[in-house]
Chain A
Amino acid sequence: GAGVSQTPSNKVTEKGKYVELRCDPISGHTALYWYRQSLGQGPEFLIYFQGTGAADDSGLPNDRFFAVRPEGSVSTLKIQRTERGDSAVYLCASSSPGGGGPDTQYFGPGTRLTVL
């Protein structure tokens, strides 16, 4: 596609519920990153995929958070037993060895998650 897309753009859920957030990276981009951005803060790294595998998940805050990328393209961030503190904008980015270089990330518009 033309850019990184994320769905839904907004998600409101109740405390304790399960949510899934989807990211479609730029076609052909092998690296995919998830971030969480709280109000007034910069993005905080959650997890990084290289292809299908999670190369670094050190940013996941606890075991309620999980992400997959089964075919090396679309990724889903899954949050179990949501808590009010999970409310934030969840950002996805992708990058490629070519183009701007592996250190140039292209961000999606984000999913705003609100946990009531």
Chain B
Amino acid sequence: GDSVTQMEGPVTLSEEAFLTINCTYTATGYPSLFWYVQYPGEGLQLLLKATKADDKGSNKGFEATYRKETTSFHLEKGSVQVSDSAVYFCALSDQGGSYIPTFGRGTSLIVHP
């Protein structure tokens, strides 16, 4: 079945550092790929998505590129802020039918001033 593997956290960075959170996936078809973010005390929010190979999703300074050849969708940000501290979830879903996503385990990001 489909699966998503994320790097384990927590990832601890200083403000303005470069961020990478790795995500790889296994899927039988051509899924859509997502990054969701969960800020402390809040629900999951969609951060960005990409629906086909080589697409780049971007939002709030975060980017991720759909790499079919390496089955990856790594999340990057050039300069993190304290307010980016949250748990980040990589996910995939089939593009037809139910769109039920499969989530990774989440990676906690802690940004220090």
Contact = CB atoms under 8 A, between A and B. Distances in A.
Interface of B: 4, 32, 34, 36, 42-46, 49, 51, 89, 91, 93, 95, 98-106
A1 interface: no
Main secondary structure of the interface of B (DSSP, over half): strand
Contacts of B98: 48, 50, 55-56
A100 B101 CA distance: 15
A41 interface: yes
A105 B34 CA distance: 10
Give the residue among A31, A43, A44, A55 with the most B Cβ atoms within 10 A. Answer: A43
Contacts of B43: 4, 91, 107-110
Nearest to A100: B46
B106 A41 contact: yes
Interface of A: 4, 31, 33, 40-45, 48, 50, 55-56, 91, 93, 95, 100, 102-110
6 contacts: A43-B89, A43-B103, A103-B101, A107-B43, A108-B43, A109-B43
B99 A42 contact: no
Given A95-B99, A102-B99, A103-B32, A42 B46 contact: no
Nearest to A41: B105
Given A45-B100, A45-B101, A107-B45, 14 more contacts: A33-B100, A41-B106, A42-B4, A43-B44, A43-B103, A100-B46, A102-B99, A103-B51, A103-B99, A103-B101, A105-B46, A105-B99, A107-B43, A107-B44
A103 B49 contact: yes
Nearest 8 pairs of A and B residues by beta carbon:
A42-B103, A107-B44, A109-B43, A107-B43, A103-B99, A103-B32, A43-B103, A42-B105
A103 B95 contact: yes
Nearest to A55: B98
